Every structure is written in C-alpha cells, then in structure tokens.
Chains A and B, each alone.
Chain A
Amino acid sequence: DAGVIQSPRHEVTEMGQEVTLRCKPISGHNSLFWYRQTMMRGLELLIYFNNNVPIDDSGMPEDRFSAKMPNASFSTLKIQPSEPRDSAVYFCASSLEGKNTEAFFGQGTRLTVV
C-alpha cells in the first residue's frame, strides 16, 4: 500500500480564499484523523472519523473549518474563508480501528495564507 496520501503537498493562497485539503487513507482502515501543526500550538487533533462518521470534532477551531468523509477512501478538510493564522502543516492519518491502534500519517500539506 502507498500509505496515506495527501494533496496538495504545498498550498499558498490569499486571505479570504477557500482552501480544500484532500486525503486518501490506507485501504481497509476505518478511522481517519485530521491534525494541524504549528510552532505556537504544536500538534492538534482537529477531527476524527470512524466508519466515515465524524466522532469527535471538538478540535475544529471555528465554523470556517469543515471536514467531510463521503466514503471510506476519501476525506476533505475545507477552510472558508482562509486567514493568515490558518497557516500550518495539516496532517491526515488513518488507523485500522479507532484511536487506540497505530495511526499512519500522510506527508502533510503545508498551507500558507498570505
């Protein structure tokens, strides 16, 4: 398996624009996680899906952020409108079953909002 695949790897956008980050989890994994990493705030869990259903979105910073998982092989994280403080590396990870099994991370999307 190719592992967790994220796209794009880098994104530069202007403030106010919509940004969509994409993730393809490892085939057969039923749990998917979106994380954000910044120097100031460290590594934060944004949202966790199990069997395509959002289980815990308490880490989503505000209404400008939304995440979907329409099927077992695809998820998106959308920011609309984007702001400079959203600049970060966004990681997607998947695991075989829930939070307490090994999670495999994608290579991340480095987002810069100018």
Chain B
Amino acid sequence: QQPVQSPQAVILREGEDAVINCSSSKALYSVHWYRQKHGEAPVFLMILLKGGEQKGHEKISASFNEKKQQSSLYLTASQLSYSGTYFCGTEMRNYGQNFVFGPGTRLSVLP
C-alpha cells in the first residue's frame, strides 16, 4: 500500500526546475508532502485534500489528481536550501485511517 515516488533521486543546478511524483494503487483521501534534510526531522510542506486541489508554498507547489490517484510536487527556480529528501504521505479512502509514506525522493541542488 506504500505509494510510489518518482524519480528516486534527482540532481539539479541552482535555478532549475523539478517535478516529483507520488502515485498510489488505491483511491486517495489526502496527500501530504514533507521535506527532510539529512540528520533532521521531516518538515511539513503542504497537504492536499481535494481532487484537483493545487497549493503553493513559496516556489514549491503541488497538485492532486484524485482520478489518477497521484500527486505531483513542483519545485521552480530551485535553491540550494531545497536539497533534501521529499516524502509524500497518503491516506487512502476506504482503508480506515492508515497513513503511509512513500520511500522518498532525494533532491540535490548544486551551485
């Protein structure tokens, strides 16, 4: 039931854009996005609750396609501080209240 994240890893130059995808085999109720830097705790980015919902956070935004059971995280004009591992967490419809994180996407932004 763990969502699938792609790519597993990505390397960018400062200023470049990236997209991280999160997909599930089950219908989703919500999608959460977190970023974790090495040796630190995960930090909340955003939650998407409705199909088709899009949210933005500085130059980081996300969309939720309920029909396709997937979410995408968009990072534009990346900064060095964006480096870290990005996790999506999904709550699935009709599967009680279980909440499952994806395996993570490691993003490295180089100068």
Contact = CB atoms under 8 A, between A and B. Distances in A.
Interface residues of B, number: 22
A102 B103 CA distance: 20
B64 interface: no
Given A99-B91, A100-B30, A100-B49, A45 B99 contact: yes
Chain B: interface secondary structure? strand
A91 B42 CA distance: 9
Interface string B5-38: 0000000000000000000000000101000000
Interface residues of A, number: 20
B42 A45 contact: no
B43 to A, nearest CB: 7
Contact of B41 (A44, A56, A108): A108
Contacts of A100: 30, 47, 49, 91
A114 interface: no
Contacts of B103: 42
B87 A43 contact: yes
A104 interface: yes
- Name A's interface SS: strand
Interface string A87-114: 0000100000001111111111000000
Interface string A57-75: 0110000000000000000
Contact of A101 (B47, B96, B101): B47
Contacts of B32: 103
A12 interface: no
Contacts of B30: 99-100
B98 interface: yes
The 7 lowest CB-CB distance pairs between A and B, nearest first, are A105-B41, A43-B101, A56-B97, A102-B44, A45-B99, A42-B103, A105-B42
